[in-house]
Amino acid sequence: MMFCFWPYPQIDYAERAPLPRNMIENSLFEEEPDVVDLAKETPSSSSSFPLDPDDVVYEPRSSRLLVRGLGENDADEEEEDYESSARLLGMSFMNRSSNQRAANQRTAYTRQDPSSFCSCLPSVRTMVAGVFVLVLVASLIMVIYFLPGCTFTREGCKKANTSQDSIYPIATDGQPFPWADLRLPSSVVPVHYDLLLQPNLTSMTFRGSVTITMTLQQDTDVLILHSADMTISKATFQDKEVKPLEYKPWQQIAIKFPQLKKGQTCTLKVDYSAHLSTSYDGFYNSSYIDTTGTKRVLAATQFEPLAARKAFPCFDEPAFKATFSVKIKREAEYISLSNMPKIGTTQEDGLLLDEFEKSVTMSTYLVAFIVANLSSVSRNVSGTQVSVYAVPDKKDQVQYALDSAADLLQFYNKFFDIDYPLKKLDMVAIPDFLAGAMENWGLITFRETTLLVGNHSSPLDRQLVTSVIAHELAHQWFGNLVTMKWWNDLWLNEGFASYMQYMSIEKLFPQLDIDNEFLNIRFRALAKDSLNSSHPVSAVVKTPEQVEEMFDSVSYEKGASILLMVNSTLNDGEFQKGVIEYLNKYKGRNTVNEDLWNSLSSVSKLSISVAQMMNTWTLQKGFPLVTVNRIGPTVNLSQEHFLLDAGNVTSNNVWHIPLTYVNDSCSTARGCKQVFLLKDKSAKLDIPAGVKWLKFNYKNEGFYIVDYGVEGWKALIKALKEDVNVLPHEDRAALVNNIFMLSRLGKVPFRQVQNMLSYMSNETETAPLTEALIHLMHILRMLEKRQDLFLVNRMKAYIINHFGDLMDSQSWEEESSVAKQTLRSMLLEISCGLHRANCTEKAMDAFQTWVASNGTYRIPSDLMRVVFSVAVQTEDGWNRVLQAYKLSLYDSEKRRMLEALASTQDVSNIVWILRAGLSGSDIQNQELPLVISTVCKGLAGYLYGWNFVKENWGKITQKFPIGSFAVQSIIVSATSQFSTKLQLLELENFFSSLKDKGSQMRTVQEAVETIKLNMLWMDKNLDTLRTWL
């Protein structure tokens, strides 16, 4: 999945009921001390009793949750039916039945309690002492029959009678639900799904029928799978009608049946109906207004991470791979698409029935289908039919995507040395879609902005579209062919797809300047990962909120960054070789973190262990700060956790750092790079005596920050002032980034930052300039929000002094270089934002020309945002831009207009746009996070933005699930500029009042930490700013 700076589809967990533990604690079993809170339980930390020791595919299900309440007397009626004849056979059946039940599917959740048997022995012995031998024999027989779970082995009593003391959640119908974990048991695995769907785009409902063929991994008498928000009309298991039990809070259903043996095959058929989802996930309805003003509807899917279960009952975890045969019944005015090519269409009850080929083996989150009226173009690429689909009004915007996808598909076929395995690849622009895109195998879905390119769109637009296609195509191998076992290793999908997206574009489309973008991404990832609220790349994940929260900067951006680091550390070609080895070894299967490193290790000729090195980067959070202290020819190196510390947190993390460096005698060519592996807290490095300066972390390819000490910084700044080209532009940008980060950490005074920036009068490259501007603007925005007018004015003057000439020299004509577009749009937005007449007058001129031309004059697209942002500050401008927004057929243009509208400083317009974003009428709900973040950047809007978030929290979390990227983005953008105690208190009070409606989110911790850090920075630096600005 891909965000492209905006949030992704949501899952509605607002109705989630409390965990069973809460139910239990509040009712029957309060006295039990052994009950474990599942929410705190983790797969890695818990003592688990693996269901099947031979099972290496699935992680052992965790939890020591005490399981009670299912004694023979509690057995449900279906089971009693099945068992009734056997029951006639007498007690021995009962005994065996509960014994096996305990030994099989529930083993993981039963409390081991040897005392229950052993405590019986003395009483038996007492009887022996007091009564006849016959009574003894009778007693032993009684023991054998009535205390199942205890067997007479050398180990003595191994197992307690689980049926006497088991706690289960309560199913919807009031019966005990026979499973007590969010994760499914691995006793039954799906092999194939036959799926028939019939959506009704008038009533916005659908009917479905699924037949699942499964095999048993062990003896069992219960089947647990996922199902959500549907009405089951009929279920048959092994051709016998059954009544599934449902536990809604965990979206699970259960079928109980007479014991089946390991290795047996069984089938479950479920007929059901549901509403098409209105929250962008599951099988959901999307709509748009066409050029005639008519509302058009369509139905599409978005399953990742947890929503396939809303479209059909299934084993909705990535490790439960299976094949799928999909049939879709539709009205003649629509077409239908699914992952695989269509076999044929037949007529049935006045409708058309499309049948698709049986799929490759895949995870449920990759299944997809669409019913819509779409136009397409196609092309054969190395035996694969590649097509791009869009709504008919936009059919002239699909060619660029088709051509780019063709190039990328050929590149990946070659790079991975495995051909894309399907005969077709569809890419579909969905009019109303929250994610950037989704990599469904063979049927990739996109936002219109990330797939459609009009004739006039800019290189920046094409960079975005190409990036997203490159990301999603990489997933067809990384994610689809080889999939992470569980969401804790989501980075294996997302970090890799992100890295491949930059690598492939750099090779195939050098004109798109993707390097600068990737460098920027790495800087942003460092900033996020410097907080104590960050998490390891491979983190513990259990609850749906935790799964949602994995779709964040760490999985995507840090994941991509550490892959770059490992690639640039390995010898040429080894990375690709290792990846091919990994894909071949695991294709069709699931993997963990370690599997990738082992594959890379196995092909590498380096003396270091890739797995050992990379585990220090994936299993612990954060990254290192390397401090360099040079004394003559000796360089003392030390490492510590770069942790922006707002609360005296300590960390002993140590990384294996492939430290790279260049010096003044050879500093720009790749051949100049030298490598030193820093594995310990400190080390010494010898260098030639005459070296004037050292620059570490060549081109910022490593994920760490370097402090050169007073003398080291001085030497570097001096060298840059003499000749900026003494270092590559990536290295210059990294120096700027690192010194700002060190200032935040309190390691260097702000004065030193200013020294660094003084070299910039000679700087013309995008990366170092934008890096400096990003940090300076962040400080300015914080000062603005503290209403420290003196410092605000000084800071503005400082920015203009340093960058004013550069701002004024920017052209307002069409520009073909992406790097130049990126730089000029940032410079001009800042310039106009600081109300410089030079800028605002030119922007208004461009706006007036656009108005007068009646749509024939096109503002260069990278300048649209600045032009419209100036224009909307007048009433006439606001009205015109709003009107144009409603009519535009180009989604990328619409988004720029929307950002301009949201930058209004007029209070009534601010209120209007926030409400419109929430209501979804004039502005689609998918844009709400963008609206809030843009409003909050402005001085007039930021308090309204925060109040709006607080007042509408309930509605926001109904549309976007707690923990989702949308909610993460809303919280961060609404609060990241706070820097006073009062603001902190207010935020803390608000979130603690939410309790289970969001107080536990990692993003909330991040927001609190960020405000504290802002306060600290202000405390430390306000005086310096007053003195030096």
In sign, the C-alpha dihedral spanning 765, 768, 769, 774 is positive
Tell whether 471 is in a known binding site: yes
Residues 6+ apart with CB under 8 A from 911: 944
Residues 6+ apart with CB under 8 A from 702: 565, 568, 657, 658, 659, 660
Binding to Zn ion, residues 79-108 (CB under 5 A): none
CB 538, min distance to Zn ion, A: 17
CB 689, min distance to Zn ion, A: 50
**What are 190's two structure tokens?**
């799906």
Distance CA 716, CA 704 (A): 18
Tell whether 192 is in a known binding site: no
Q: Which is nearer to Zn ion, 24 or 497 (CB)?
A: 497
Q: Is 394 exposed, middle or buried (0-12, 13-18, 19+ CB in 10 A)?
A: buried
167 contacts Zn ion (rule: CB under 5 A): no
Q: Which is nearer to Zn ion, 553 or 983 (CB)?
A: 553
- Which parts of 863-941 fold into alpha helices (H)? 864-871, 875-887, 891-902, 907-919, 928-937
Q: Which is nearer to Zn ion, 498 or 926 (CB)?
A: 498
Q: Which helix (H) or strand (E) holds 986?
A: helix 981-994
The b/e string for 787-819 (b: 16+ C-beta within 10 A; e otherwise) is ebeebbebbbebbbebbbebbeebebeebeebb
Tell whether 775 is in a known binding site: no
For 420, 439, 960, the CA distances from 424, given in Å and listed in that order, are: 9, 14, 33
Among the candidate windows 2-10, 216-224, 757-765, 835-843, which touches Zn ion by CB under 5 A? 2-10
Beta-bridged to residue 215, according to DSSP, are 189, 265
For 196, 230, 268, the CA distances from 273, given in Å and listed in that order, are: 11, 6, 17
Q: Which is nearer to Zn ion, 1 or 780 (CB)?
A: 1
Q: Which helix (H) or strand (E) holds 984?
A: helix 981-994
Q: Which is nearer to Zn ion, 432 or 494 (CB)?
A: 494
Distance CA 502, CA 208 (A): 40
Binding to Zn ion, residues 456-495 (CB under 5 A): 494
- Which parts of 417-543 fold into alpha helices (H)? 459-475, 490-508, 514-529
Beta-bridged to residue 247, according to DSSP, are 252
Distance CA 434, CA 799 (A): 36
Q: State CA 327 to chain mean position distance.
A: 30
CB 796, min distance to Zn ion, A: 39
Closest CA to 945 of 962, 930, 933, 928: 933
CB 560, min distance to Zn ion, A: 11
Beta-bridged to residue 499, according to DSSP, are none
Q: Which is nearer to Zn ion, 497 or 776 (CB)?
A: 497
What is the maximum span of the chain, computed from C-alpha positions, in angstroms? Answer: 112
Query: Annotated catalytic residue: which of 41, 357, 439, 472?
Result: 472
Strands 369-372 and 424-430 turn out to be unpaired
CB 521, min distance to Zn ion, A: 14
Q: Which is nearer to Zn ion, 437 or 1011 (CB)?
A: 437
Distance CA 241, CA 374 (A): 40
Count of residues interacting with Zn ion (CB under 5 A): 4
Q: Which helix (H) or strand (E) holds 256?
A: strand 252-260
Q: Note whether 634 and 656 are within 8 A (CB).
A: no
Residues 6+ apart with CB under 8 A from 681: 638, 639, 640, 654
CB 479, min distance to Zn ion, A: 7
Q: Which of 224, 362, 398, 497 touches Zn ion by CB under 5 A?
A: 497
Among the candidate windows 178-186, 245-253, 496-504, 848-856, which touches Zn ion by CB under 5 A? 496-504
Q: Which is nearer to Zn ion, 162 or 969 (CB)?
A: 969
Q: Which is nearer to Zn ion, 357 or 549 (CB)?
A: 549
Q: Which is nearer to Zn ion, 2 or 705 (CB)?
A: 2
Distance CA 475, CA 438 (A): 9
Distance CA 605, CA 402 (A): 40
Q: Active-site residue 25, yes or no?
A: no
Closest CA to 182 of 284, 46, 281: 46
Amino acid identity of residue 410, one-letter, is Q
CB 963, min distance to Zn ion, A: 18
CB 478, min distance to Zn ion, A: 9
CB 387, min distance to Zn ion, A: 21
CB 339, min distance to Zn ion, A: 17
Give CA angle at 226 (225, 232), nearest 5°: 95
Q: Note whether 487 and 516 are within 8 A (CB).
A: no
CB 475, min distance to Zn ion, A: 6
Binding to Zn ion, residues 26-45 (CB under 5 A): none
Q: Which is nearer to Zn ion, 497 or 562 (CB)?
A: 497
CB 305, min distance to Zn ion, A: 11
Strands 424-430 and 443-447 turn out to be parallel
Q: Which of 1, 38, 270, 372 touches Zn ion by CB under 5 A?
A: 1
Number of other CB atoms surrounding residue 408 within 10 Å:
26
Q: Which is nearer to Zn ion, 7 or 917 (CB)?
A: 7
**152 in helix, strand or coil?**
coil
Residues that bind Zn ion (CB under 5 A): 1-2, 494, 497
Q: Which residues are annotated as a binding site for Zn(2+)?
A: 471, 475, 494
Q: Which residues are annotated as a binding site?
A: 471, 475, 494
Annotated catalytic residues are 472
